[in-house]
């Protein structure tokens, strides 16, 4: 086996993935299993640095959770308060409050990191303002 080294290039990354594929059946606690563990850690670090995935827009996260669990707007009313509030939030006319974020996180398990992101509409407004300046 070759020496394990940091993944710095796409070629290093591809080579690490190829080696991981050959080690997938390695048993824990063996030299091959340890090598697999180290290579996976290196690949994850490289991917986090080079292909970071931003959390989804809060409204997209809410809609995704609703779809995943077969929830309706009525179910969302129980969390956010009223039919009109749900409509305003889903149509991006009202931002989520801290209390709404807490309830969505606690009751529906939506990651708080996703819920605290600005909505897409706000991002576009800020981007337009920055370009105009």
pLDDT digits 0-9 by tens, 69-114: 999 999 999 999 999 999 999 999 999 999 999 999 999 999 999 9
Output the CA angle 59-63-66, nearest 5 degrees. 140
pTM: 0.55
Dump the DSSP string for 62-110.
HHHHHHHHT--HHHHHHHHS-HHHHHHHHTTSSPPPHHHHHHHHHHH--
Query: Could you tell me which CATH number the domain at 58-132 has?
Result: 1.10.260.40
Please report the pLDDT score of residue 58 as a whole number.
95
pLDDT digits 0-9 by tens, 8-22: 999 999 999 999 999
Q: Which residue has the tokens 């931002």?
A: 95
Q: Give the residue extent of every domain in the chain.
A: 10-50, 58-132
Is residue 113 classed as helix, strand or coil in its secondary structure?
helix
């Amino acid at each position: 086996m070759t020496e394990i080294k940091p993944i710095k290039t796409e070629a290093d990354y591809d080579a690490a993935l190829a080696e991981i594929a050959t080690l997938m059946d390695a048993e824990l606690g063996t030299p091959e299993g340890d090598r697999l563990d180290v290579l996976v850690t290196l690949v994850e670090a490289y991917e986090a640095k080079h292909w970071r995935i931003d959390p989804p827009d809060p409204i997209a996260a809410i809609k995704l959770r609703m779809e995943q669990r077969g929830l309706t707007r009525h179910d969302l009313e129980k969390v956010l308060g009223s039919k009109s509030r749900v409509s305003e939030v889903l149509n991006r006319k009202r931002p989520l409050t801290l209390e709404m974020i807490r309830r969505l996180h606690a009751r529906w398990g939506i990651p708080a990191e996703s819920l605290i992101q600005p909505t897409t509409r706000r991002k576009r407004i800020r981007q337009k303002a920055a370009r105009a300046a």
